[in-house]
Amino acid sequence: MSAVKQSLRVLLFDFDGVILETEQPGYWGWKKTYAEFGHDLSQEQYALVIGTHFGKFNPKEDLERKVGRPLDWERLDRERQEFYRQVISRQPVLAGVRELLSEARQAGVRAAIVSSSPRDWIEHWLAHTGLRGEFEYVMCVDEVPVPKPAPDLYLAALARLGVAAAEAVAIEDSPNGSKAAQQAGLFCLLVPTEITARLAFEVDFPRVESLAGLGLAGIARLKTQYEQTRALASRRQSAKGQG
């Protein structure tokens, strides 16, 4: 067994913003809805819902408060979703994803998706991009109705795949996703998008601009460096406490 495969048996990909850039188009769609009623939506506000559900911020409630009356969400949702799908359908798979999945397949490293999005959404876009066959499993809120930043989705995925957290790597773009990974005991590689890059992350995981050129060896190296740094910090803290 290769050194990489010994420390890295499974790649756990978030979907939105990691496999396909759906987050910026999602923001554009909501911004378009707000503009119809003469209001604006900032990226900072919209970023609160990335990787989770409408908990910290609900754009529907926010817009209705600003407009001062109930809105026809059946129409607005339909129009926004149509716009959203048209834009996303023109988006390429994010840089480095196909190459990493191909390398993982050849090396015998398993791959799965762990997402707060519904299954029909993920399956549609995996089919559209031709990537469905690259993933052994898709864990989503249809099966575990507790979105990130709770660790439930990741814990369920690890159990389903029969691997320990130490043998897997999560790949995330958002604070909500990375916090979920951390709470599940996972090492997480951060690949922020244009929107999430400006947010405050509560975790200290390594960050890269894209997956392009990184490869399994690069991910394994970052994982090892992170674990060694954490272990050293723990030993120093322990020695300080004894001194």
Q: Is the pLDDT score of 241 beyond 90?
A: no
pLDDT of residue 7: 73
For the entire predicted model, the pTM comes to 0.87
Average pLDDT over residues 125-135: 96
Q: What pLDDT, in 10s, does the model give residues 160-199?
A: 999 999 999 999 999 999 999 999 999 999 999 988 888 8
Q: What pLDDT, in 10s, does the model give residues 7-29?
A: 799 999 999 999 999 888 989 99
Q: Identify any residues that bridge with 170 across adjacent strands, giving them in sequence order.
A: 12, 188
Work out the burial of residue 233: count CB atoms within 10 Å of its CB; fewer than 13 is exposed, 13-18 middle, 19 or more buried: exposed
Q: Any idea which fold 3-21+93-242 has?
A: Rossmann fold (3.40.50)
Instruction: Give catalytic residue positions.
Output: 14, 16
Cis, peptide link before residue 149, omega less than 30° from 0: yes
Give residues with Cβ within 8 angstroms of 217, minimum separation 6.
Answer: 4
Q: Measured over all CA atoms, what is the biggest interatomic distance in the chain, rounded to whole angstroms? A: 66
Q: What percent of the chain has pLDDT over 90?
A: 75
CB contact at 8 A, 117 and 14: no
Q: What pLDDT, in 10s, does the model give residues 37-84?
A: 999 999 888 887 776 666 678 999 999 999 999 999 999 999 999 998
Domain ranges of the chain: 3-21+93-242, 23-88
